Amino acid sequence: MQKDIIIIGGGIVGLATALQLQKDRPQLKILVLEKENEVGKHQTGNNSGVIHSGLYYKPGSLKARNCINGYTMLVAFCAENNIPFELCGKIVVATDDKEIPLLNNLYERGKQNGLQNLKKLTAPELKEYEPHVAGLQGIFVPQTGIVDYKVVAEKYAELIRRNGGEIALGEKVVSIQFQSQEAAVTTDHGVHHAKLVVNCAGLYSDKIARLTSSNIDVKIIPFRGEYYKLKKEKESLVKNLIYPVPDPNFPFLGVHFTRMMRGGVEAGPNAVLAFSREGYHKSDIKLGELAESLAWPGFQKVAFKYWKTGLGEMYRSFSKAAFTKALQKLLPEIQESDLEEGGAGVRAQACDRTGGLVDDFMIVEEKQAINVCNAPSPAATSSLSIGQTVAGLVLKRF
């Protein structure tokens, strides 16, 4: 049957887009195509589960606007739909003199982004929030929270279906042909027709985008983030969330301690090049995908510029002792024996040809397609707002 809109990708961004479109224009016929047999299996189901406040992002950027707007929308959505969440707050901790100016910049940025009641903390004050932490100074961010994004995505999917939308699981999009008034989207199960295609394919968003346009000049570079879990008897070392001061050259926030909504405390994620786009283990290698990453001129420039940091991340990935040492900067008491293997997630990070890891969310419009080409963290927090933004672009054409 002819649809109005086909959304490729049943992660939190694709589902939020479908939900927002239904809200704005209930009569639209929407189909979500997801290659896995469940929604939210990839980035959405393998992340830190943090509801970000908007502390880090450049004022005025899509990330800042969508995170702040999305935060409010997500919190309201969870409250309305009885999804467990907690606004427990977090601390960001400087452990080195060099980090103090960066910490102050973060504080100012948070204020520019409209965050209320941010609090600068001295070393003794840090301990009032997290008794086992060691640091020189810090910031308390009261807005930050935790949630299980897989549960959120499942609720989006339930509502989409209840509103009459269709979600086809286990259907992988393999090609797209555009005719004058419609797109023919071919999956490994058949062909679907729609007036417009929205690409929210996460780790494969660049590949899907290339099916819709010859002008896509970014490549998704997959960065695996590995986690350890604190052993049950050591969970009391962490009350809520403890973050380092992030390196401003990188789009990642650094290894942190996170109390999870589903229980337990995780430490991570690091950031190492994944040898396949959905490579959750070191041994997951797809030679074609690895070769593509290595051959991309932009990635070669990133690797050349940041080889030292990259090697350090690789070393910590293979050495639990080195990973523990990094964690001890925040929590000196933690020992290697307190940690057991946790899971891993793979970030879809767009990299342009000239060597820039694309920092902001990126949406590329074509005549019959809208491509969400970069939706890294905090896209889970921001999902409803990104959905609203994309839905706005879609509805201009209907």
Ligand X SMILES: Cc1cc2nc3c(=O)[nH]c(=O)nc-3n(C[C@H](O)[C@H](O)[C@H](O)COP(=O)(O)OP(=O)(O)OC[C@H]3O[C@@H](n4cnc5c(N)ncnc54)[C@H](O)[C@@H]3O)c2cc1C
Examine residue 222 and tell whether it contacts ligand X (CB under 6 A). no
Size of the site for ligand X (CB under 6 A): 42
344-363 exposure pattern, b = at least 16 Cβ within 10 A, e = fewer = bbbbbbbbbeebebbbbbbb
Instruction: Please state, in angstroms and rounded to a whole number, the distance separating the CA atoms of residues 331 and 43.
Output: 27
CA–CA separation, 47 and 372 (whole Å): 19
Alpha-carbon gap, residue 274 to 293, rounded angstroms: 9
Given the complex with ligand X, which of 62 and 137 has the nearer CB atom?
A: 62
Cα–Cα nearest to 369, from 156, 205, 235: 205
Cα angle vertex 7, ends 6, 13, to 5°? 160
The conformation of residue 14, written as its DSSP 8-state character, comes to: H
Residue nearest ligand X, CB atom distance: 11
Of the candidates 19, 33, 74, 88, the one whose C-alpha atom is nearest the C-alpha of residue 378 is 74
- Within 10 A of 288 (CB to CB), how many other CB atoms are there? 7
Out of 52, 189, 193, 281, which one is annotated catalytic? Answer: 52
Q: Does 237 engage in binding with ligand X (CB under 6 A)? A: no
Does the footprint of ligand X cover residue 212 (CB under 6 A)? no
203 binds ligand X (CB under 6 A): yes
**Distance in Å, CB of 136 to ligand X, minimum:** 25
Establish if 148 lies at the interface with ligand X (CB under 6 A): no
The verdict on 47 binding ligand X (CB under 6 A) reads yes
Q: Is the dihedral of CA 193, 198, 203, 206 positive or negative?
A: positive
Q: Assess 6 for contact with ligand X (CB under 6 A).
A: no
Our finding on whether 376 is near ligand X (CB under 6 A) is: yes
x/- site string to ligand X, residues 246 to 265, per CB under 6 A?
--------------------
Which region, judged by CB under 6 A, interacts with ligand X, from 40-48, 115-123, 135-143, 155-163? 40-48
**Binding of residue 347 to ligand X (CB under 6 A):** yes
Look up 52 and say whether it is catalytic: yes
Q: Which residues are catalytic?
A: 52
Q: Which residues bind ligand X (CB under 6 A)?
A: 8-14, 33-36, 40-44, 46-50, 52, 172-173, 200-204, 208, 225, 269, 345-347, 375-381
